Amino acid sequence: MNKDINTLSYQLLAASCVFARIAEIDYRISEEYRTDILKLIDRGIGGFCTFQGSLEATGVMIAELQARAGDTLLFCADYEHGLPMRLEGGTDFPHAMALGKVNSTELTRKVGQAIAREARAIGVQWNFSPVCDVNSNPKNPIINIRAFGETPNAVIPHVGAMSEGLQSEGVIACAKHFPGHGDTATDSHLSLPTLGHSRERLEGVEFAPFEAAIADGVRSVMVAHLAVPALSKPEDAALPASLNPAIITGILREKMNFQGLIVTDALDMNAITNHYSSGDAAIRAINAGNDVVLLPENPIEAIDALAREAEENPEFAARLRASATRIEAAKEWCRSFPPPEPISLENHGKLALEVARKAVTVDDMRNVLPLQQYGTFAAFAVMQDDNLQPGAEFFHFLSQVVEQDCDFGFLDASISDDEAAALAEQTADAEVIVAAIFVRGRSHTGTVDLPAHISKALNIIANGRQIAAILLGSPYLRSSIQATSYVSTYSDSTASIGAAALALGGKV
């Protein structure tokens, strides 16, 4: 090990267990932001979790910061389906549910390898993937297509394959969100969900993918911000799992015998910040059995609080030292791999499209497809927010697949009946209506439902014509749309959007 953990001061010991948020876009444009980041490095922070920015510039930033820190930092990220989940650039692979639908562990492993290669190429050594949650609740507003499936048997093979693919390339995999976030109806970015199942149910469903991941050698586990009364002491029934000793130490560390890194989910989420200061949350996290205090709202406050607690409490100091030792061992494991080899983004793109095409399911009850059988059609992209890029990508791909004239337009929840009627008149020559639905579970939205007016608006626009609904996201929205043909991609990645266009052209 590069560090002798036993000789570190309490301040350095505390800092080594804290991982802060960093966004290349802010680092590039704000001198004050860069100064704050450098102060954290000088304090001995253990690492950073990367967010918005470009791929190339993020790689440059990471190299600069590693040089400043003497190559002692561990960089992590949420690259569940590839680097574009957080950055501009890299390969946008289909989401986990698409991989589950393809049901080829070999392809899942290859996707994990490809993501790891791209991550290592820019200096990211720890990927918060795979998602081990069993998405048994169709109304889940945050997991949804991030899960491989709806049953443990559907999830377990792909959890192992993704972990193996990532770790074979020198990137630490992370099983999340323990003890299981799949059957919740609340977004923990907004408030604290409660998982109300019995312990027997939890052990039979929620635990199973995590136990399999641990048996397969996953090197880290992330603990969720959700209350689980059945696993808690009565006085801790409302305590988040991420701060709960009975769940982390009692179950994950002792019962499941997991010896790797344990990391909290992001501590700057409302489920935590609504109830705890950064310092209090950090202390509770370590006392509960976590090793990494991830993204405290105020990293300096968290470091100082941990150091003070260590100075006053020998038992806490020992826990902090044990966590720092595990973190250093993880860094050593990453360093044991040779430098990454050159990667082929072209080959990765082909892999992404292969998975996306195999994941597509088509239910064409009245032979509405392919679109080539019509002289004209009208296509609308139903958007979840003000980011129109996915819809524009869909129109671009569709125009390459079909040759006939068509009208393109965007819809959102603000559409009125009068506006829908006007669109019906404007598209009167179209023989069929295509509705691409870009709605899925997203953080901070609190819902995965289709906006109330959309289905009605589509029927007004169609005015008796057939509708081909393309579910580019949540497959559970089918019951909310009255259509005669359904195409499901289980993902809104670039490759999945392209595969949807191919399906409309009869080429899937």
Which is nearest to 142 in space by CA: 387, 479, 445? 445
Q: Residue 207 belongs to what H/E stretch? A: helix 207-215
Q: Is the peptide bond before 339 cis (omega within 30 degrees of 0)?
A: no
What are the domain boundaries of the chain?
19-339, 360-504
Give the per-residue pLDDT at 1: 42
Cis previous bond, 177, omega within 30: yes
Catalytic residues: 189, 265
Kindly state the tokens that stand for 460: 């007004």
- The residues pairing with 406 across neighbouring beta strands, listed in sequence order, are 377
Contact call for residues 504 and 470 (beta carbons, < 8 A): yes
Closest by Cα among 240, 249, 253 to 280: 240
Class of domain 19-339: alpha beta
Q: What is the pLDDT of residue 144?
A: 93
Measured CA distances, 494 to 10, 81, 138 (Å) = 47, 11, 24
Give the pLDDT confidence score for residue 443 in this predicted structure.
Answer: 61
Fold for the domain defined by 360-504: Rossmann fold (3.40.50)
Q: For residue 478, how far is the Cα from the chain centroid?
A: 23
> Which of 209, 223, 236, 25 minimizes the C-alpha distance to 134?
209
Please report, in tens digits, the pLDDT of each residue of the chain (508 residues total).
Answer: 456 888 899 999 999 999 999 999 999 999 999 999 999 999 999 999 999 999 999 999 999 999 999 999 999 999 999 999 999 999 999 999 999 999 999 999 999 999 999 999 999 999 999 999 999 999 888 899 999 999 999 999 999 999 999 999 999 999 999 999 999 877 777 778 899 999 999 999 999 999 999 999 999 999 999 999 999 999 999 999 999 999 999 999 999 999 999 999 999 999 999 999 999 999 999 999 999 999 999 999 999 999 999 999 999 999 999 999 999 999 999 999 999 989 999 999 999 999 999 999 999 989 999 999 999 999 999 998 888 999 999 999 999 999 887 889 999 888 999 999 999 999 999 999 999 999 886 665 666 778 778 889 999 999 999 999 999 989 999 988 999 999 999 999 999 999 999 999 998 7
In this prediction, residue 469 carries a pLDDT of: 96
pLDDT attached to residue 156: 98
Bridge partners (DSSP) listed for residue 126: 76, 172
Strand-by-strand arrangement of the 126-127 sheet: 126-127, 74-77, 47-50, 18-22, 293-294
Which residues, at least 6 apart from 324, have a Cβ–Cβ distance to it below 8 Å? 3, 5, 8, 13, 16, 17, 46
How far out from the chain centre does Cα 462 lie? Answer: 35
